[in-house]
Structure 1
Amino acid sequence: NTSFADVYENVATNNTGGILVFNMPNLPKPGVATRVFKNEVYANNTANFAPEGGAVAGVPAGSGILINSNDFVEVFDNDIRDNETANVIISSFFATTYTERSAQPDFDPFPETIYIYNNRFSGGGSSPDGLDLQTLKLAQYGLSGSFPDVLWDGIVNEELLVDGSLPADHSICIPDENVIMLNIDMGNDFANVTEDMTAHRCSHDKLAAVVLDIAGAE
């Protein structure tokens, strides 16, 4: 788990998942506050060959940027394209393949305060990995259709809900009008899948840049 990280100027391609921002449940220190920017993330469609039960075994092939169980994540100024499950996936601990692992008392399984803006998206979402997502894509968009650029499992901390919605400071914010997020309502067996962006056309305060103070460095 990593806190206060900048992930930038990388090229991620030909992986199962391009850039993964995870928070593991059984580590003593939780991760928080990651900026992902100025990266090129494309065609990460390699079949997942991780051993069963491993931390990345459940990553769908075709994942561009995958945010799991992490808070205060800012994704901006990236080129993201042709990732065939979705260019960005936001998911909770409950969507992973390691839910049987013990968790630290302060582990937060829900991704919150996510800010995605000013990225360049194209392609992707046309051939998702896994039968559930394939079936959902076919039902929602047809044989030749594609998922939108952002896919969210829709699982939230119900204790935080106010009139059925997360408070603004915990929300996933995507202010760009041309970027759509699909809430797949995974926690309710995909019963209320929606592209409604009303609660997500918002913004968060931007995270500060990471500055390393290294002794002896000029």
Structure 2
Amino acid sequence: MAISHPAIWGAALAAVLLGAAAEAKTLTVSPGPDAQERVQTALLDAKPGDVVSLEAGTFAFTDGLSLDIDNVTVTGAGQGKTVLSFAGQKGAGEGLLITSDGVTVRDLTMQDSKGDGIKSKGADRISFVALTVEWTGGPKETNGAYGVYPVSSTNVLIDKVTVRGASDAGIYVGQSKNIIVRNSRAEFNVAGIEIENSTDADVFDNVATHNTGGILVFDLPGLPVMGGHSTRIFRNQVVDNDTPNFAPKGNIVANVPMGVGVMLMANRDVHVFENEISGNQTSAVMLVSYSRAFDDKAYNPLPRDIVVRDNRIGRNGWLPSLPGGKMLAQAMGGAVPPVLWDGITSYPGIEGPAPRLYVKDGPVLNLNLAKPGEVEGAKPTVTATLGTPGLPERAAVVLPGSQDKPAS
């Protein structure tokens, strides 16, 4: 006889779900010999819903780790308590590469990976919570490029993360969508926090300090995903970014001047508000165009639909790391204005209206460049503000409810 009563169907479904939940298990791994094999085996053997628990102590690895199972949590005993050391890593890959959905990595420290620290690629619902990623030898060109690095991912949460020593960006989110970066600290990196070629990002309640540049929002040509837009940067402390640029030559961030607070390049619909920005010798905020050659006619190298308002701006711009920066600061009474804009409003082959910019937190130094990077003949001017209000506010980013639980 067929079962057709809704209550019976509901009971049967509940039994199946409870049975699946009961099957979830914790795979516990302790430090010691053969840590590489034992941890990687746990990551390979995990089933959806399982927890891979790494006990307190130092795990020494000679190669990177990988995870491709959905809905797995990798947890340690706490930052500084569970330490994953890649000082003996023989290859140049990531410390941990994640290519599955619904993964959380939390409560551990990763040190000295030869390549990037923790990377997710093509993942949905990826969470990095209460992590430290660091290169213990301090800022060096030979350090890994990125500390925490979700790319081509959706529904990204980065919460209570600390990154030190990345030779490109400490916290980097690239070609991704629906992103929250909060309660985190980036220090002694080239770029502290970078959102690149991504859509719908909220970056708030973070500290970016002692980097070359504090918080960067870029859009670059030649990538599978372009047209980055819709980022909010708010309630952050962007202070004392004073580390000389140590990025390998040729990297785009190798051009970031030392001492930039917030830098927006070739991106659209970016709102910067209610941040504390001080102690940055080049500029509190820079609005610049992409300055390298590119072939893609769909790419727009200009920053546009930008809002800078209601920030607490302290001392910045006393010694800009720009051509002629020292003389420019002296000519302006010892420091350049807090907001620096290259002044470029059009680009050959790019159609459309001039970029809309609203900068309330002036004065603004307009470099009046003819085109990106061309400073000869430019005549800088200063305005109290730039543009007029009217650009619409961005809505808050919302992550799936099961993912966005407050970090303990």
TM-score range, shorter chain: 0.7 to 0.9
Residues 215 and 106 of structure 1: is their aligned pair in 2 closer, same or farther, counting only changes over 3 Å?
farther
SS in 2 for 1:56: helix
Residue equivalent to 1:122: 314
SS in 1 for 2:327: helix
Residue equivalent to 1:58: 255
Residues 7 and 217 of structure 1: is their aligned pair in 2 closer, same or farther, counting only changes over 3 Å?
closer
2:289 pairs with 1:82:
no
Structure (1 or 2) with the greater strand fraction: 2
2:391 pairs with 1:204:
yes
Residue equivalent to 2:369: 186
* Deviation per residue, 1:133-162 (Å, 9 max, x gap): 233333x314xx10111001111225545x
Residue equivalent to 1:71: 268
Residue equivalent to 2:335: 146
Which sections of structure 1, spanning at least 5 residues, go unmatched? none
Cα deviation for residue 214 of structure 1 reads 5.2
Identity %: 38
Cα deviation for residue 215 of structure 1 reads 5.8
Task: Say what the alpha-carbon RMSD is for the aligned residues.
Answer: 2.1
* Deviation per residue, 1:31-68 (Å, 9 max, x gap): 11100001000010111111111010000001000001
Partners of 1:132 and 1:54 in 2: CA distance? 23
Partners of 1:4 and 1:105 in 2: CA distance? 24
Normalising by structure 2, report the TM-score.
0.46
SS in 2 for 1:4: strand
Contact 1:175 1:203 (C-alpha < 8 Å) held by counterparts: no
Residue equivalent to 1:45: 242
Normalising by structure 1, report the TM-score.
0.84
Which structure has more RCO (C-alpha within 8 Å, separation ≥ 6)? 1
Partners of 2:220 and 2:397 in 1: CA distance? 22
Question: What is the one-letter code of the residue matched to 2:380?
Answer: V
Residues 20 and 198 of structure 1: is their aligned pair in 2 closer, same or farther, counting only changes over 3 Å?
closer
Residues 64 and 217 of structure 1: is their aligned pair in 2 closer, same or farther, counting only changes over 3 Å?
closer
Cα deviation for residue 217 of structure 1 reads 6.7
Residue equivalent to 1:10: 206
Contact 2:359 2:386 (C-alpha < 8 Å) held by counterparts: no
Residues 197 and 28 of structure 1: is their aligned pair in 2 closer, same or farther, counting only changes over 3 Å?
farther
Partners of 2:287 and 2:357 in 1: CA distance? 9
Q: How many residues align?
A: 201
Q: Structure 1 residues 60-69 or 123-132, which shifts more?
A: 123-132
Partners of 1:111 and 1:202 in 2: CA distance? 17
Partners of 1:198 and 1:41 in 2: CA distance? 21
Greater Rg by CA: 2
Which sections of structure 2, spanning at least 5 residues, go unmatched? 1-196
Question: What is the one-letter code of the residue matched to 1:44?
Answer: N
SS in 2 for 1:57: helix
Cα deviation for residue 108 of structure 1 reads 1.1
- Structure 1 residue ranges (4+ consecutive) displaced by more than 3 angstroms after TM superposition: 102-105, 158-161, 214-218
